[in-house]
């Protein structure tokens, strides 16, 4: 496992104003993929510094893949105001567009946690995501009625989630065509306290199983 990349804080253009972002490129990163990571609910303390969001980014760094974490509109230094998941989907698409400019030969992953996971699902098809990773997606709280993503998709859910109804999420996922790969972490709550290493490893395993190209950084 390589050392964490040095973060670069910057502002990227968003549909409601500038978005605060954190860009991290592993040493010797591969140029075929990049990740955009979406954070939990803006009105409940969600930011790009959330521990699950950080863990998702670190999993991609283990694979030599650069990432963009960003604050949705109205969070931190990002301009604009909360927009019920609809405007935040536009923010995610803006972050993907920025990543395509930064790494023009690369294709995007979309990753997210809770509210951010639902936003990632909404954005995935339009963004042309190569892979999708959603952790405890808030599918009953944010409309996810857009086209079902056709890319390889990992859904991670703790069965002791005290915020999201785990059974409802798993039932919803099983009814999709194509259905995502579902990984249930037994005994894990919504914030995966004490389980973040397992979460990170699950993403790395999914990447390797789905044929992601590991970057040249080891």
Map out the domains of the chain as residue ranges.
7-209
Tell me the per-residue pLDDT of 51-86, one tens digit each, with 9 for 90 and over: 999 999 999 999 999 999 999 999 999 999 999 999
Q: What is the mean pLDDT of residues 113-123?
A: 97
Average pLDDT along the chain: 93
Q: What is the mean pLDDT of residues 202-210?
A: 94
Tell me the per-residue pLDDT of 125-158, one tens digit each, with 9 for 90 and over: 999 999 999 999 999 888 887 778 999 999 999 9
Q: What is the mean pLDDT of residues 88-117?
A: 97
Integer angstrom CA distances of residue 162 from 19, 158, 169, 191: 30, 9, 13, 9
> Minimum mean pLDDT among 7-11, 28-32, 69-73, 194-198: which range?
28-32
Contact 60, 53 (CB under 8 A): no
Reported confidence tier of residue 213, pLDDT bands at 50, 70, 90: low
pLDDT of residue 218: 34
| Close Cβ partners of 167 (under 8 Å, ≥ 6 residues apart) | none
Superfamily for domain range 7-209 = Alpha/Beta hydrolase fold, catalytic domain (3.40.50.1820)
Q: What would the 3-class secondary structure string for the chain be?
A: CCCCCCEEEEEEEEECEEEEEEEECCCCCCCCEEEEEECCCHHHCCCCCCHHHHHHHHHHHHCCCCEEEECCCCCCCCCCCCCCCHHHHHHHHHHHHHHHHHCCCCEEEEEEECHHHHHHHHHHHHHCCCEEEEECCCCCCCCCCCCCCCCCEEEEEECCCCCCCHHHHHHHHHCCCCCCEEEEECCCCCCCCCCHHHHHHHHHHHHHHCCCCCCCCC
pLDDT of residue 66: 96
- Res 204 pLDDT > 50: yes
Q: What is the mean pLDDT of residues 155-168?
A: 97
Burial of 171 (0-12, 13-18, 19+ CB in 10 A): exposed
Q: Percent of the chain having pLDDT more than 90?
A: 86
Token duo for residue 9: 């804080």
Token duo for residue 200: 């990170």
- Res 1 pLDDT > 60: no
Reported confidence tier of residue 215, pLDDT bands at 50, 70, 90: low
pLDDT of residue 217: 38
């Amino acid at each position: 496992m390589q050392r964490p990349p040095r973060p670069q804080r910057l502002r990227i253009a968003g549909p409601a104003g500038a978005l605060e972002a954190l860009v991290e490129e592993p040493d010797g990163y591969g140029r075929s993929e990049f990740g955009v990571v979406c954070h939990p609910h803006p009105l409940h303390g969600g930011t790009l510094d959330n521990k699950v969001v950080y863990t998702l980014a670190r999993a991609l760094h283990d694979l030599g893949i650069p990432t963009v974490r960003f604050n949705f509109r109205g969070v931190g230094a990002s301009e604009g105001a909360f927009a019920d998941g609809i405007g935040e989907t536009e923010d995610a698409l803006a972050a993907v567009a920025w990543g395509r400019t930064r790494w023009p030969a690369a294709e995007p992953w979309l990753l997210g946690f809770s509210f951010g996971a639902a936003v990632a699902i909404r954005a995935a098809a339009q963004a042309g995501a190569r892979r999708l990773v959603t952790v405890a997606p808030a599918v009953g709280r944010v409309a996810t009625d857009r086209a079902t993503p056709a890319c390889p998709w990992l859904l991670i859910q703790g069965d002791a989630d005290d915020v999201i109804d785990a059974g409802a999420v798993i039932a919803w996922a099983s009814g999709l065509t194509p259905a995502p790969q579902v990984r249930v972490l037994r005994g894990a709550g919504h914030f995966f306290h004490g389980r973040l290493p397992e979460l990170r490893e699950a993403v790395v395993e999914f990447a390797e199983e789905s044929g992601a190209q590991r970057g040249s950084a080891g």
